[in-house]
């Protein structure tokens, strides 16, 4: 080897050794620059069902999305805490918020507009997942959308003993009068076959709490609405509602309506329906499947068959009440809006739907021979990790839905509209329920009851 060759080899060795030191330094710096942030997710519904499960849920989110999250989950004074944190500018990246609370806060410019992100999302812009009409429904006056849906909030509808209908040869009712005839048959024709006059046509509670399907025959939505001048009015407190009150009064007078409708809690009228005492109730769509599951779990041979019914048609068409929207927003103060939106988008994908229902792989559920199987813990958690029924129209539960639910859900999707949220909703509950009870009991006429409602709304400052 001559001197020239030796110098070349020596120089090469020096360069190689230098690179051995430089590359790790450069690589380490690059890794630090790409350090994954941890997003703060404040919620009352999403995540683990118990504190011990929360870290596992956070790890599952990271496994599925590559986004690290720290979930702060609480139900105690949730809206108060959320408002305080948003207004004070605490570092939040994702927040869950109900529609009524969202109405109070969005005008304070606390939330990031998401319109462009939604339009550019192959998931959220897909009308087969979430229809455009749903986005338009939560679009604000400025044309912007500030939230992504958490789940399908379902709604309330007539739920009937379909086995009683079949036994008595009753076709699906179409009008309020046909509903009356069906309920009367449940009362008078011994549908349970015990030879005793011990059944009612209808069992409800809280004085017409879930009766939008009946009032909907006259186009009357529950709660408050706005007239053409923008003023609030209560449709159930108008003269248009008189035929509906007369219909309920008739049911009560003839013993068709179970008499404890004023004081019944939901558990009371649910039990009446499941124990062969009532042929119909007015309740949430999910309970169609739950009614069937509960009764058949206790008595597999029971003929019990709960089904949702299309609401009666009248001068106002057909109408049901949808559950209020649960929304996911990104606060304007978030430093990680791209990562936060990735979570909102993921929540509406198939993998997100699985996480929000079944839960965590190999903890809440396993996949055995290609089939999903709930663990004992998963059964305890009842397939609810924030969205027991995802918003996506493409969602199909790999374990199947409970008997009757899908049919009921289709009815809700077709006819249900959400109740308008106002700061006077508690006043509405008190006034309308108390006066409606007097009307149905026959203590006052519908006209008197409506006059009382109008007067009380004025006294409370609702009507200016």
CATH number at residue 76: 3.40.190.10
| 383 and 318 inside one domain | no
**What is the Cα–Cα distance from 49 to 78, expressed in whole angstroms?**
16
Give a yes or no: residue 209 inside a domain: yes
| 331 and 439 inside one domain | no
**What is the Cα–Cα distance from 36 to 66, expressed in whole angstroms?**
9
**What is the Cα–Cα distance from 269 to 200, expressed in whole angstroms?**
11
User: What does the pLDDT read at residue 351?
Assistant: 97
- What are the helix and strand counts (H, E) for the chain? 18, 15
| 44 and 166 inside one domain | no
| 119 and 169 inside one domain | no
Domain range for 77: 38-151+324-391
Q: Which among 391, 406, 428 is the end of a domain? A: 391
**What is the Cα–Cα distance from 345 to 234, expressed in whole angstroms?**
37
- The closest of 217, 221, 306, 202 to 261, measured between CA atoms, is 202
| 186 and 129 inside one domain | no
User: What does the pLDDT read at residue 423?
Assistant: 86
Compute φ and ψ for 375, nearest 5 degrees: -80, 175
Concatenating the DSSP letter of every residue in 203-234 gives ---TTTTTTHHHHGGGT--SS-EE-TTS-EE-
- The closest of 248, 222, 249 to 237, measured between CA atoms, is 222
| 315 and 337 inside one domain | no
Give a yes or no: residue 203 inside a domain: yes
H helices within 221-316, ranges in order? 242-253, 266-274, 286-298
User: What does the pLDDT read at residue 318?
Assistant: 97
Give a yes or no: residue 425 inside a domain: yes
Mean model confidence pLDDT for the chain: 92
Strand-pair partners of 361: 365
User: What does the pLDDT read at residue 91?
Assistant: 93
Which residues of the chain are modeled with pLDDT < 70? 1-34
Distances (CA, A) of 137 to 109, 125, 143, 413, 433: 19, 15, 11, 14, 28
- The closest of 113, 114, 74, 111 to 93, measured between CA atoms, is 111
**What is the Cα–Cα distance from 268 to 25, expressed in whole angstroms?**
70
Give a yes or no: residue 404 inside a domain: no
User: What does the pLDDT read at residue 103?
Assistant: 87
| pLDDT tens track for 22-69 | 334 344 444 445 688 999 999 999 999 999 999 999 999 999 999 999
Give a yes or no: residue 23 inside a domain: no
User: What does the pLDDT read at residue 10?
Assistant: 45
| 284 and 186 inside one domain | yes
| 209 and 78 inside one domain | no
| 55 and 180 inside one domain | no
| 186 and 290 inside one domain | yes
| 188 and 277 inside one domain | yes
**What is the Cα–Cα distance from 186 to 192, expressed in whole angstroms?**
9
| 71 and 146 inside one domain | yes
Give a yes or no: residue 9 inside a domain: no
How many distinct structural domains can be found in the chain? Answer: 2
Give a yes or no: residue 383 inside a domain: yes
Does the pTM exceed 0.75? yes
Give a yes or no: residue 27 inside a domain: no
């Amino acid at each position: 080897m001559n001197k020239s060759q030796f110098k070349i080899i020596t120089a090469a060795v020096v360069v190689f050794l230098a690179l051995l030191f430089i590359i790790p330094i450069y690589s380490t710096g690059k890794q630090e620059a790409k350090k994954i942030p941890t997003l703060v997710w404040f919620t009352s519904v999403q995540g683990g069902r118990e504190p011990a499960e929360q870290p596992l849920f956070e790890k599952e989110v990271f496994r599925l999305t590559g986004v690290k999250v720290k979930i702060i989950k609480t139900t105690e004074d949730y809206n108060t805490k959320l408002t305080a944190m948003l207004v004070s500018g605490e570092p939040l990246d994702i927040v869950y918020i109900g529609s009524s609370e969202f109405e109070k806060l969005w005008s304070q410019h606390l939330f990031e507009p998401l319109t462009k992100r939604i339009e550019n999302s192959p998931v959220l812009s897909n009308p087969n997942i979430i229809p455009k009409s749903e986005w338009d429904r939560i679009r604000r006056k400025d044309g912007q959308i500030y939230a992504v849906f958490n789940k399908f909030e379902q709604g309330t509808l007539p739920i009937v003993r379909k086995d009683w209908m079949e036994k008595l040869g009753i076709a699906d009712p179409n009008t309020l009068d046909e509903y009356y005839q069906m309920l009367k048959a449940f009362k008078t024709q011994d549908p349970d076959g015990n030879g005793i006059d011990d059944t009612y046509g209808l069992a409800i509670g809280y004085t017409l709490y879930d009766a939008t399907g009946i009032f909907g025959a006259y186009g009357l939505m529950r709660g408050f609405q706005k007239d053409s001048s923008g003023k609030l009015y209560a449709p159930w407190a108008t003269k248009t509602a008189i035929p509906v009150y007369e219909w309920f009064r008739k049911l009560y007078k003839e013993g068709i309506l179970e008499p404890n409708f004023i004081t019944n809690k939901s558990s009371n009228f649910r039990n009446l329906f499941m124990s062969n005492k009532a042929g119909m109730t007015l309740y949430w769509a999910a309970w169609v499947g739950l009614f069937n599951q509960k009764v058949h779990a206790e008595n597999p041979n029971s003929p019990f068959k709960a089904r949702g019914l299309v609401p009666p048609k009248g001068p106002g068409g057909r109408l049901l009440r949808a559950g209020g929207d649960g929304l996911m927003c990104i606060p304007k103060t978030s430093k990680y809006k791209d990562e936060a939106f990735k979570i909102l988008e993921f929540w509406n994908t198939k993998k997100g739907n699985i996480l929000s229902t079944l839960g965590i792989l190999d903890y809440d559920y396993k996949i055995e021979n290609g089939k999903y199987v709930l663990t004992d813990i998963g059964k305890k958690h009842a397939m609810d990790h924030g969205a027991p029924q995802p918003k996506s129209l493409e969602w199909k539960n790999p374990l199947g839905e409970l008997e009757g639910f899908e049919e009921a859900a289709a009815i809700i999707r077709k006819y249900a509209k959400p109740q308008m949220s106002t700061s006077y909703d508690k006043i509405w509950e008190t006034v309308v329920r108390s006066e409606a009870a007097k009307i149905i009991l026959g203590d006052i006429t519908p006209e008197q009851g409506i006059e009382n409602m109008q007067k009380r709304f004025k006294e409370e400052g609702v009507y200016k």
